[in-house]
Amino acid sequence: MDYHKLLFIGPVGAGKTSAIRAVCDDHDNLETEAKASDMTGLRKATTTVAMDYGCLTLNDNESVQFYGTPGQSRFKFMWELLANNLAADCAGIVFLVDNTRNYPMRDLKYYSHEFSELIARKKVILGVTRSDLRDDPTVLDYQKALQELGIDAAVRFIDARKASSVLPLVKELVGELVSFDSWSDLTNQALSNEKDMVFEEVVPEQDDAHFAIQEYIGEEVVMKDAIIDDVMNLKGVRGAVLTDDMGEIITSSIESPEVNDFVGFVAGVVKVFEEASGLGSVHNICVKSNTEDNLSIFVGGDKALGVQSSNRVSVRTLKQQVDDLLQWS
């Protein structure tokens, strides 16, 4: 039996698990789903914590194996395992992006960087999901972004829940490597099966309007005043402060004026540091302590968010949670 591997990458909620589930044999695949205990739970009940695996048998001699990475950066060790070992010899990459996230282009840039070595030597297709709920950014926007990143990849708007939508991507990546030529039959069979299936969109359980899908706001991060309340709901957070890029306090739940002033000072000097250092944009600064609270400062657009948290809280986990808030709220 000849096996051809495909690797699915992309942010949490983009549809990697659904896509693999849709196309593998009799939907018999391995999933490592766990209940989402962070901001991910606002958009989906479970999240992949290790990997997804499935197999599509083409004929007696050929099959395609699918490997899916977890979307959250706290499981980055699995990205390395899959990209450098289990799926290092993959025939191609299906790069999925959720079009309803606030900053999908940031996802594109981030995961392109994280998987840059594999992307540089593999055939890649960018699959954009949930475009039925928001059609902006457009195909042309993604093509331009890929060109700027130096990535040669086709862009396809797909429904990751439907085999008929995912199979054409599989064909594009492995079609020239296999003798199997009945792709149209596979797709037609999938379409026939989907006629009797009901696809329900998962919606957030809570009623807060700011967790609904927003209009596309471009790639400049917008921090709203309400983010303070959202951040305060995160485990281990003691307080939060929002400042403008000149260091002026907009709103704060931190009692210490010294901490507020320090966040304001950092926000005010970030642009100067970026220009003077030539090291590029600064997005996150962290001051850690073994005895006192940690202080994480997130810079985006014309504002900065300072988060005071217990030193028992993982800085990486906190960053993931704040990034999720910015992406989905």
What's the pLDDT at 45?
47
pLDDT of amino acid 268: 84
Give residue 27's pLDDT: 63
What domains does the chain contain, in order, with CATH numbers? 2-194 (3.40.50.300), 220-328 (3.30.450.30)
Q: Report pLDDT for 34.
A: 46
Q: What is the pLDDT of residue 59?
A: 93
Sort residue 280 into left (φ over 0), alpha (ψ -120 to 50) or beta.
Answer: left
- Give the DSSP per-residue string, 82-135: IIIIITTT-SEEEEEEETTSS-HHHHHHHHHHHTHHHHHTSEEEEEEE-TTT--
**Cα–Cα dist 189/195, whole Å:** 10
Give me the pLDDT at residue 245, please.
Answer: 82
Residue for token digits 């379409």? 191
Provide the edge-to-edge strand list for the sheet that holds 303-309. 249-252, 237-244, 303-309, 294-300, 284-287
In angstroms, the CA 119 to CA 214 distance is 30
Would you write out the chain's pLDDT as a tens digit for each of its 329 residues?
A: 898 999 999 998 899 999 999 999 876 666 555 444 455 545 554 555 468 899 999 999 999 999 999 877 777 888 898 899 989 999 999 999 999 998 999 999 999 999 999 999 999 999 999 999 999 999 999 999 999 999 999 999 999 999 999 999 999 999 999 999 999 999 999 999 888 776 665 554 444 555 577 788 788 888 888 899 999 999 999 999 999 988 899 999 999 999 999 999 988 888 777 777 776 777 888 998 888 899 999 988 789 999 999 999 888 889 888 988 888 76
Q: According to the model, what pLDDT value does residue 283 have? A: 82
Give CA–CA dist 156/170, Å, rounded: 12
The per-residue pLDDT for 204 is 47
CA 207 to CA 195: how far, in whole Å?
A: 32
What is the pLDDT, as a whole number, of residue 198? Answer: 65
